[in-house]
Amino acid sequence: MPKPNAVVSALPSTIPFVAPERMERESGRPFAARLGANESSFGPSPRAIEAMQRTARQDVWKYCDPEAFDLTAALARHLGIRPAEIVVGAGIDNLLGLTVRIFSEPGDAIVTSLGAYPTFNYHVNGYGRRLVTVPYRNDRADLDALAETVRRENASIVYLANPDNPMGTWHDAEAIESFAASLPGETLLLLDEAYGEMAPPSALPPLDTGRNNIVRARTFSKAYGLAGLRVGYLVGAEPICAQYHKVRDHFGVNIMAQSAALAALSDCEWLASVLAKVASARERIASIAKESGLAALPSAANFVTIDCGQDGDFAMGVLKALDARSVFIRKPMAPGLDRCIRVSCGLQQELDLFETALPEALAAAGRSRR
Amino acid sequence: MPKPNAVVSALPSTIPFVAPERMERESGRPFAARLGANESSFGPSPRAIEAMQRTARQDVWKYCDPEAFDLTAALARHLGIRPAEIVVGAGIDNLLGLTVRIFSEPGDAIVTSLGAYPTFNYHVNGYGRRLVTVPYRNDRADLDALAETVRRENASIVYLANPDNPMGTWHDAEAIESFAASLPGETLLLLDEAYGEMAPPSALPPLDTGRNNIVRARTFSKAYGLAGLRVGYLVGAEPICAQYHKVRDHFGVNIMAQSAALAALSDCEWLASVLAKVASARERIASIAKESGLAALPSAANFVTIDCGQDGDFAMGVLKALDARSVFIRKPMAPGLDRCIRVSCGLQQELDLFETALPEALAAAGRSRR
C-alpha cells in the first residue's frame, strides 16, 4: 500500500464534532429541539432564499467564480475596506486550516485556549504543528497568559475567539487591541469573530487592515443563517491575504454560497430582526436556567452557557438527559469549563421544549440537594 | 509581518484558470456561448433542482452532515461497493489536493502528463512536492512513459485522467489495468474519471476496491450538471479512504451539494437524456470542424478537441477571435497539443453561434491557404 504522509499517518481517526445527524441515526429518533450547533433556527433572509432558488434554476451548472468577485466587492463596501483585504473561503473552518498551513512550519508552536474551538486544534494537528493550550480564567480567554505563552513558545499563530465559543464571554475592543499590541510582530493573531454580529459593538476593534499581524475571521453561518452553505471570510492586510490565493481551492466557495451570501448581506432589516430574536432568546434561556436555580453566563453570542453548579460528570448527565428528551445541546469539555452546558438560541417552540426538559434533566442527572 | 510557510512563500501568485466571469468583467461583454469550461449547459436533473429549492427553504441554516451519510450510502448502492470505500469531497479539485497532502512527502516526485489538468499541478506545487511531467503521445497519455517515469523517479503518486482532459482521448480498461499493474506497489494511481459517465463503458475498469494502490475520482460537475455546487468523490480501498477522514474539512461538502447530488443520482432518465445530448453535440462539433476543413479528435468526454492544423500561435489566434465573437472556449497549452482548441458540448443555440463564428475566427487568425 502507498505510504501515507508521516504527519497524516501519525494522526488518529477523529471527527472534531459528532453531528446531530449521526446522533439521530444512532438513536433512531430525530431531535425536537436543535439547540446544540449554534446555528440560526431563524433561518436566512428571504432574499437569500430567493437567490438560492434562482441559482438552482439558472446557474448551478456553471462553475462558481473562483474569485468570488461580487461577494468580495460587496463585503469590501460593507466593511469600508478594499477587496484585496478580504479572503472568502468555504466557511471559517476552511480558512482556519489554510491559516495554519500558510503561517506556520511543521513543528511550530501554535497557541489557543484549552477548551476553545476543536476544529482549529484539528487543523493544527493535521498539519503537524504543535498545539499549546492556555486555560481560561474566570470563564474567559486569559489574554495575559496567552501572550506570555506566545512569547515563551515563540509561537507562529495564536487563536482567539471573541466572543468566545463555548463560553459566550468576550473581551472589549481595548483589551483585544492591547493583546494584539503585546504580541511579537512575527506572531499572527487569528481573531475568530464568528459571533461578531451578535456582540456589543464595543467588543469589536475597528478594522485596521494596516496591521500585518492580525487576520479576523467572520462567517455567514451564524447571524446570517447560512451554515449549510459554507461561506466565511478573513479580513487582513493585503500582503497577508495575498498568501491565501497561492494555495486555496480556487473553486472552493460554491455558487449557492456566493449568491446567497451576497443577497443576505444586502438585507440589513433581516439581520436586525435576527439579532433581536437572538437577544430575546438569550434572555429566555437565562431565565429558564434561573427558574431551575442555575446561573447563565453573560453571552455575546447566539448561545448561552449555563453553569450547572456541579462537576463535569453531572453536566454531562444533564446533557444526556436532555438528549433523551429529544433536546440537542452541547457542552464545554475542558476542566473547569465542563461544569457547564451550552444552549443555542432557537425558536420559541424549541425553547419551550428546553424549558420543560431542563428540570427533568437536572433531576434525572441526580442533582444534589441544596 | 508573520513569516509565511517556506513552501507557500516560494510560490508565485497564480490562478489555475482565469474564469469566464473575469474575462466578461474585463471585456465588459458577456459570452453568448459558454463552451470553455466543460460544464453541462443541459443543467441538472429537475429532481436536483427541486431538492435545492427545498433545502433553500427548509434546511440551509443547518450545518451539513459532516459524514455526507445519505449521499455516501446512495453512492455505495449505486456503485455496488461499501460506504467505507468512498470519500465525498468538495469537488475533485479538493480531493486532488487532499491526495497530494496525504500520499506524499515534501520533495517527493509526483508524475503527470505534460499539459494535463492544471489544478492537480497547482496542488503538487502548493504542497512543495516535485512535479515530473511526461509528454503525450499521439494526443493520448503515454502510459508506458508514465510508468517508466514513476519507476525512475520513485514517484509517490501518478495522475492519469481517463478520459483525458484537455484532449478528450482515452485508453480502454485493459490498458488502464495493465498500467496500474505495472506500477510499483508503493505508488498511488490517482485515476481521474471526471468524464467517466460520458465514456464508452469499455474505457472504465471494473471497480476493484480490493486494490490498495488506486483511487478513482468522480464528480457531479460534468454529466450531472452540478459544477457550481462542488461535489465529487473518490473510490478506493478502505485503508486508503480512511486516511482522508483524518485531515479533510469535515463540514466541507455543503448541504445543497449533498441534497442535490443525492437527488441527481436517483434520476437515471435525466442522466441518459444528458448523455444523448452530449453524444449529439460531440457529433455536431466534429461536423462543424469538418466543414471548416479541420479534424476533430475522437472524444469520450463532454467536449471535443479540434486540431486547427497549424501551430500554437494560430490556435491561440482562433481562440481569441472566437472570444471576440462572444464564444468562450479553451485550448490545450502544452507543446504538441497547443495546435488544438477545446470546445465543450453545449446547447443547440450555443453551437449555432460556434458554427457561425468558427470560419470567421479561422480567417481572422490568418489561416494559411491550403
Q: Is residue B267 a contact partner of residue B47, using CB atoms and an 8 Å limit?
A: yes
Chain mean pLDDT for chain B:
97
- Candidate from B40, B61, B254 with C-beta closest to A257: B254
How distant is the alpha carbon of residue A101 from its chain centre? 19
Nearest to B213 by CA among B165, B174, B179, B247: B179
**Is the Cα torsion angle B233, B237, B238, B242 positive or negative in sign?**
negative
Q: What was the pLDDT predicted at B13?
A: 85
Q: What was the pLDDT predicted at A209?
A: 82
How would you class A118 by CB atoms within 10 Å of its CB: exposed for 0-12, middle for 13-18, buried for 19 or more?
middle
Closest CA–CA distance from residue B366 to any residue of chain A (Å): 32
SS3 A15: coil
| Model confidence at A244: pLDDT above 80 | yes
Share of chain A above pLDDT 70, in %: 99
Closest residue on chain A to B48 (Cα): A56
Q: Stretch A5-19: mean pLDDT, rounded? A: 89
- Candidate from B213, B227, B246 with C-beta closest to A63: B227
| Model confidence at A282: pLDDT above 70 | yes
Q: Residues 321 to 340 of B: which have CB under 8 A from any A CB?
A: none
| Model confidence at A370: pLDDT above 90 | no
Confidence band (pLDDT; 50, 70, 90) for A367? confident
Confidence band (pLDDT; 50, 70, 90) for B209? confident
Closest residue on chain B to A121 (Cα): B247
Is A64 within 8 Å of B230 when comparing Cβ atoms? yes
Task: Judge whether B107 is closer than 8 Å to chain A, CB to CB.
Answer: no
Closest residue on chain B to A7 (Cα): B102
- Candidate from B1, B239, B249 with C-beta closest to A212: B1
Closest CA–CA distance from residue B262 to any residue of chain A (Å): 15
SS3 A109: strand
Element (H, E) at A56: helix A46-58
Chain mean pLDDT for chain A:
97
Is A228 within 8 Å of B254 when comparing Cβ atoms? yes
- Candidate from A44, A49, A60 with C-beta closest to B44: A60
Task: Judge whether A15 is closer than 8 Å to chain B, CB to CB.
Answer: yes
Residues of A in contact with B186 (CB under 8 A): 1-3
Residues of A in contact with B14 (CB under 8 A): 246
Closest CA–CA distance from residue A117 to any residue of chain B (Å): 14
Is B157 within 8 Å of A42 when comparing Cβ atoms? no
**Is the Cα torsion angle B314, B320, B325, B328 positive or negative in sign?**
positive
- Candidate from A5, A41, A230 with C-beta closest to B251: A230
- Candidate from A39, A90, A245 with C-beta closest to B61: A39
Is A16 within 8 Å of B250 when comparing Cβ atoms? yes
Nearest to A192 by CA among A168, A170, A218, A167: A218
- How many Cα atoms within 13 Å fall on the side-chain side of residue B239? 10
Q: What was the pLDDT predicted at B213?
A: 94
Is A42 within 8 Å of B64 when comparing Cβ atoms? no
How would you class B200 by CB atoms within 10 Å of its CB: exposed for 0-12, middle for 13-18, buried for 19 or more?
exposed
Is B42 within 8 Å of A53 when comparing Cβ atoms? no
Residues of A in contact with B40 (CB under 8 A): 61
Task: Judge whether A256 is closer than 8 Å to chain B, CB to CB.
Answer: yes
Nearest to A6 by CA among A106, A92, A153, A88: A106
Confidence band (pLDDT; 50, 70, 90) for A297? very high
Task: Judge whether B44 is closer than 8 Å to chain A, CB to CB.
Answer: yes
Is B16 within 8 Å of A250 when comparing Cβ atoms? yes
Is B1 within 8 Å of A62 when comparing Cβ atoms? no
Q: What was the pLDDT predicted at B234?
A: 98
Residues of A in contact with B251 (CB under 8 A): 91, 93, 230
Residues of A in contact with B102 (CB under 8 A): 4-5, 8
Task: Select the residue from A23, A63, A159 to test the B interface by mutation, using most B Cβ atoms within 10 A.
Answer: A63
ipTM for the predicted complex: 0.97
Quote the cell numbers at residue B360: 470567421
Instruction: Count the residues in chain B.
Output: 370
Q: What was the pLDDT predicted at A62?
A: 98
Q: Which range in A15-19, B11-15, B194-198 is most confidently predicted, on average pLDDT?
A: B194-198
Confidence band (pLDDT; 50, 70, 90) for B211? confident
pLDDT, one tens digit per residue, over A250-267 is 999 999 999 999 999 999
A vs B, Cβ pairs < 8 A, gives 270
How distant is the alpha carbon of residue B175 from its chain centre? 20
pLDDT, one tens digit per residue, over B253-266 is 999 999 999 999 99
Q: Is residue A47 a contact partner of residue A259, using CB atoms and an 8 Å limit?
A: no
| Model confidence at A216: pLDDT above 70 | yes
Confidence band (pLDDT; 50, 70, 90) for A196? very high
Q: What was the pLDDT predicted at A227?
A: 98
Q: What was the pLDDT predicted at A17?
A: 80
φ, ψ for residue B98 (rounded to 5)? -60, -40
Task: Judge whether B102 is closer than 8 Å to chain A, CB to CB.
Answer: yes
SS3 A288: helix
Residues of B in contact with A213 (CB under 8 A): 1-2
Is B256 within 8 Å of A251 when comparing Cβ atoms? no
Q: What was the pLDDT predicted at B41?
A: 97
| Model confidence at B316: pLDDT above 80 | yes
- How far apart are the two ends of chain A, measured CA to CA in Å? 61
Is B250 within 8 Å of A17 when comparing Cβ atoms? yes
Task: Judge whether A242 is closer than 8 Å to chain B, CB to CB.
Answer: yes
Task: Judge whether B17 is closer than 8 Å to chain A, CB to CB.
Answer: yes
| Model confidence at A160: pLDDT above 60 | yes
How distant is the alpha carbon of residue B111 from its chain centre? 17
CA distance B359 to A255: 35
Q: Stretch A128-141: mean pLDDT, rounded? A: 98
Q: What was the pLDDT predicted at B208?
A: 86
Task: Judge whether A60 is closer than 8 Å to chain B, CB to CB.
Answer: yes
Task: Judge whether B188 is closer than 8 Å to chain A, CB to CB.
Answer: yes
- Residues whose CB falls within 8 Å of the CB of residue A272, separated by 6 or more in sequence, listed in order: none
| Model confidence at B369: pLDDT above 80 | no
- Distance of CA B260 to CAs A43, B87, B249, Å? 20, 17, 20
Q: What was the pLDDT predicted at B14?
A: 79
φ, ψ for residue A68 (rounded to 5)? 45, 50
Q: Stretch B82-107: mean pLDDT, rounded? A: 98
Is B62 within 8 Å of A56 when comparing Cβ atoms? no
pLDDT, one tens digit per residue, over B28-48 is 999 999 999 999 999 999 999
Is B19 within 8 Å of A185 when comparing Cβ atoms? no
Is B186 within 8 Å of A2 when comparing Cβ atoms? yes
Is B102 within 8 Å of A8 when comparing Cβ atoms? yes
Helix axes A46-58, B46-58, angle to 10 degrees: 170
pLDDT, one tens digit per residue, over A25-81 is 999 999 999 999 999 999 999 999 999 999 999 999 999 999 999 999 999 999 999
Q: Stretch B2-18: mean pLDDT, rounded? A: 90
Task: Judge whether A119 is closer than 8 Å to chain B, CB to CB.
Answer: yes
Residues of B in contact with A122 (CB under 8 A): 250
Please give, one letter per residue, the 3-state secondary structure of chain B: CCCCCHHHHCCCCCCCCCCHHHHHHHHCCCCCEECCCCCCCCCCCHHHHHHHHHHHHHCCCCCCCCCCHHHHHHHHHHHCCCHHHEEEECHHHHHHHHHHHHCCCCCCEEEEECCCCHHHHHHHHHCCCEEEEECCECCECCHHHHHHHHHHHCCCEEEEECCCCCCCCCCCHHHHHHHHHHCCCCCEEEEECCCHHHCCHHHCCCCCCCCCCEEEEEECCCCCCCHHHCCEEEEECHHHHHHHCCCCCCCCCCHHHHHHHHHHHCCHHHHHHHHHHHHHHHHHHHHHHHHCCCEECCCCCCEEEEECCCCHHHHHHHHHHHHHCCEECECCCCCCCCCEEEEECCCHHHHHHHHHHHHHHHHHCCCCCC
| Model confidence at A188: pLDDT above 90 | yes
Quote the cell numbers at residue B98: 487532499
- Candidate from B16, B225, B256 with C-beta closest to A228: B256
- How many Cα atoms within 13 Å fall on the side-chain side of residue B341? 32
Closest CA–CA distance from residue B368 to any residue of chain A (Å): 36
Going along chain B from its start, the domains and CATH numbers come out as: 6-43+269-364 (3.90.1150.10), 46-267 (3.40.640.10)
Confidence band (pLDDT; 50, 70, 90) for B17? confident
